[in-house]
């Protein structure tokens, strides 16, 4: 998984992720129960996979990307469970906090003299 640059990640977190979750919340009433169970199982696997990958990752940009993947899985899972208000609240909080986190990672990478690992940055 190639990690994006901080600027492209900021654009990605503020537009593409938000658009996908909002689209799913809008068309959720069309989905049937069986499809919801399959989607919920897929998002549970996404949560598990991204959290396990983030535990053993030392690249700072990949760590933030796996964190984003985990949060997207959480938002979709809340939407599948018919908690669209909770999903939307998590979406807004995620957009603000993740954009600030991407900017912070950019500063850490700039100050880390080209090293992207957590040990090289000094965190």
Domain assignment present for residue 17? The answer is no
Res 119 pLDDT > 60:
yes
Domain assignment present for residue 18? The answer is no
Into how many domains does the chain fold?
1
- Domain of residue 55: give its range: 33-121
How much is the pLDDT for 19? 75
Domain assignment present for residue 83? The answer is yes
How much is the pLDDT for 13? 61
Domain assignment present for residue 21? The answer is no
Please tell me the least confidently modeled range out of 7-21, 42-56, 80-94.
7-21
Using alpha carbons, select from 103, 81, 94 the residue that is nearest to residue 28.
81
Domain assignment present for residue 80? The answer is yes
Q: What is the spatial distance between Cα 21 and Cα 18, in angstroms, rounded to a whole number?
A: 5
Mean pLDDT of the 47-54 span? 84
Q: What is the spatial distance between Cα 70 and Cα 66, in angstroms, rounded to a whole number?
A: 6
Indicate the average pLDDT of the chain: 76
Domain assignment present for residue 38? The answer is yes
Res 6 pLDDT > 70:
no
Q: What is the spatial distance between Cα 72 and Cα 16, in angstroms, rounded to a whole number?
A: 11
Confidence of residue 11 (pLDDT cuts 50, 70, 90): low
Domain assignment present for residue 10? The answer is no
- For 74-108, the pLDDT digits (tens) are 888 887 777 888 888 888 888 888 888 888 887 87
Res 1 pLDDT > 80:
no
pTM for the model: 0.64
Confidence of residue 50 (pLDDT cuts 50, 70, 90): confident
Domain assignment present for residue 6? The answer is no
């Amino acid at each position: 998984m190639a990690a994006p640059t901080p600027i492209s990640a900021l654009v990605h977190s503020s537009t593409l992720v938000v658009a996908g979750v909002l689209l799913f919340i809008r068309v959720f009433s069309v989905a049937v129960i069986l499809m919801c169970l399959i989607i919920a199982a897929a998002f549970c696997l996404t949560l598990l996979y991204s959290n396990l990958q983030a535990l053993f990752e030392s690249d700072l940009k990949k760590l933030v990307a796996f964190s984003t993947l985990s949060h997207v899985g959480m938002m979709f899972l809340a939407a599948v469970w018919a908690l669209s208000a909770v999903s939307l609240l998590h979406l807004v909080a995620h957009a603000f906090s993740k954009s600030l986190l991407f900017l912070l990672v950019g500063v850490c990478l700039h100050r880390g003299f080209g090293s992207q690992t957590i040990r090289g940055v000094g965190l």
